[in-house]
Chain A
Amino acid sequence: EDKVVQSPLSLVVHEGDTVTLNCSYEVTNFRSLLWYKQEKKAPTFLFMLTSSGIEKKSGRLSSILDKKELFSILNITATQTGDSAVYLCAVGRSGGGADGLTFGKGTHLIIQP
């Protein structure tokens, strides 16, 4: 059975801090790892990683995948209160993309002013 484990489950930091969120996985026929941000409603897409060692970056957020050790990290630098959300990690199996994603339980991040 496919498995995605995120840590920590919750995290409280102060504005301006840097945070690192972790995601480890066990998936048959791994093809992709995705990060989403969920603020009360639908998850919004952040990154998709398919190749090991290549960093994806968008503003203050960045992510990298290690396919040998089966994990990914999501970094957020200079955090702002608007970064408060649940961050979800998901993995996709091979199968042409039609298969659904397997999600972790998420990391609940709270940024205090």
Chain B
Amino acid sequence: SQTIHQWPATLVQPVGSPLSLECTVEGTSNPNLYWYRQAAGRGLQLLFYSVGIGQISSEVPQNLSASRPQDRQFILSSKKLLLSDSGFYLCAWNPGGYEQYFGPGTRLTVT
């Protein structure tokens, strides 16, 4: 069966520091992968999606970037965090249909 992992589970970072969040999927190959952010009082917002290695589509302009160095690995990064980057970051995958399945999430607090 397929499993999606995210780490770290929680993170507290100062403003201006770099960020790297990792997502990996097991038990499948060539999944579509997604990064979402859920900020307090707001809905889930799609940040990036990827249909294959090295292929990244950005939905919202911001100081975040994403990379997909391996088939089942998706990384969310920032060179300098802002206070507004605080939120719950969720990685999701789908095997090619329309259903998406979410990882456990990373709760990021920027201080």
Contact = CB atoms under 8 A, between A and B. Distances in A.
Interface of A: 4, 31-32, 34, 36, 41-45, 48, 50, 88, 90, 92, 96-106
A4 B103 CA distance: 23
Given A42-B105, A90-B44, A97 B97 contact: yes
A105 B104 CA distance: 19
Nearest to A99: B49
Q: Chain B: interface residue count, which band? A: 20 to 34
Interface of B: 32, 34, 36, 41-46, 49, 51, 59, 90, 94, 96-105
Nearest to B36: A100
B105 A41 contact: yes
Given A45-B101, A92-B98, 7 more contacts: A43-B90, A97-B97, A100-B34, A101-B44, A102-B46, A104-B43, A105-B41
Contact of B99 (A4, A34, A96): A34
B44 A48 contact: no
B64 to A, nearest CB: 15
B104 A34 contact: no
B98 A50 contact: yes
A43 B92 CA distance: 10
B36 A96 contact: no
Contacts of B51: 98
19 contacts: A4-B43, A31-B98, A32-B98, A34-B99, A41-B105, A42-B90, A42-B103, A42-B105, A43-B90, A90-B44, A97-B94, A97-B96, A97-B97, A98-B32, A98-B51, A101-B46, A101-B100, A102-B46, A105-B43
A74 to B, nearest CB: 16
A98 B43 contact: no
A69 B94 CA distance: 28
B43 A106 contact: yes
